[in-house]
Structure 1
């Protein structure tokens, strides 16, 4: 297990265990990028947000160490819950006038995202969570029944998992997207994280001996007493300042997740329950029958949950289909992949110049790796080289270029 700091002294035996844990964690380093690289691969950007919840009160709870708290989180077995989650995102990107919708959805990829022709495709709809402020209703009844509803003005999008069936429904367009889970009971995610627990799972995968983990007092979230777990990178060169996870003091379920950048300012990621109940949701919550007249689209690849990308189709498809390698260690590690797209940014055809437009959003750089363009956000930076490689990480622009040089 990685070293967890607390008010207690850390003995030599604990340090040895920490080193063993760090060694065991090394083959999983790429898990750090499960969330951000998925976004970078589609949009060369990442997640950011304004605070969604205000903590109220500091409950008096028994003292607990960070290691004990994480162990309790690991043993938490909440099977039933329902509630409301508020999540806001702010990428710190310029207004693209709607272009980002196509980039995030994977439009034009010959069967991926909105290219499937269904507004109910979860891969296109749930990517909306990477920008703006959203309210979600969530419900779960064991591993085979979950529901997430994205509430919009006068409309609702729902993603329902009931046994082997996975349904996406867009009430605004009256469109339905249906797929069959290859393994009922196996975790399936067709979009980015939607609850504090989803975010917390990814953050804890990043904990190793380059990380400081402490208990940072208590809070109240959604009317429940919680401990605050604070995760801080020890390394310079990363864009991550701190991650705070509010953990329910009875069920040990994460209730709120906040990520702040090292540059300061508003939180980059902040998602939390505004209301939560741990009773069993009504069985009808997970029932779904396509409404009369609805357009139903069946998923083409039920085994993997997404059509196989064609090598070299475009930047996003290439990164998703490529092999991810990891350069460096800890929070300054960088994920890299070869897209197969040569010549740098794509050139426009007909009216306009897509490459020129995208290039105006980034900074040209050069080094031992050659030439390329760096796209910077408040959290993830991505370098696209002229020979078709992508480097991305929770690192500064300077750290990213150094990694590309070392990787060359």
Structure 2
């Protein structure tokens, strides 16, 4: 049942439809259908309590006219649909008010129209939207003046007039509520989508596309903050830089796709072997780093050693070929003599150079000179 209602409301919307446009299409569809249903109910009341059915005849015509915007949405004539809705709404209201008199309060049905075109069109029809926006005001003034000098063309029973007046007032109120309710709902959805997109873009800006690890820019930003905090609090901070041994040989022998697969395997192992509080990033082609806080040297060495052995034990299978790799690690620790996080990077990089010089597939800690 809910799916059927959703399909009816979302006529004219497909997967390619912009979210703002989709919201406006739904708004027109809902208001058109609500008007159609309420007018039909008014016709039913007319048939039960009135001997003559002048109102029903007029309303029947109006009800089907109000379905035209819904049909235009179905035909994907979106702007035409909204223009038709506002024009026919204004004309129908004025016609009903003139024929049956001000006792029905049809003229107040113009009130929801004021401001409606701003919701309907935004910037799609430029300055012309202001014509539609304020059209309801002069029309309302015109009707009030008309009522002063002209009686209703069709006079109905007083009791009947009272019932239909209350009904039409309720219709005005319901339409206004539906209009602003749907618009608010769609606006909220748009804001949520914008928030999600911003979050996604922010994440993409911070994450390396190939490995899913943090990129160099994000690592630099976070390292600066972490370094300052650790320096002020005199807390533990360690930076580990490692890269894949003979990675160029992997690319030259097996191709860059194989090299990418190796990098992704390293990222997967890093996610599995380090804590959530440990910051892991890809800072170069085959170069990675790990930032450790809230631990000690002994634990860092133990964790890195285990990770080094885990890499050595792995086999990357690419096009039925087995690729074995190893990695070299350089570790530096924060001390009060280090004045910036760039010094911490230099020390770790120097330790990594020593690990490579000493034969690779090993861990070296930075030694003070």
TM-score w.r.t. structure 1 length?
A: 0.22
- Please say which structure displays the higher CA radius of gyration: 2
TM-score w.r.t. structure 2 length?
A: 0.24
Which structure has more RCO (C-alpha within 8 Å, separation ≥ 6)?
1
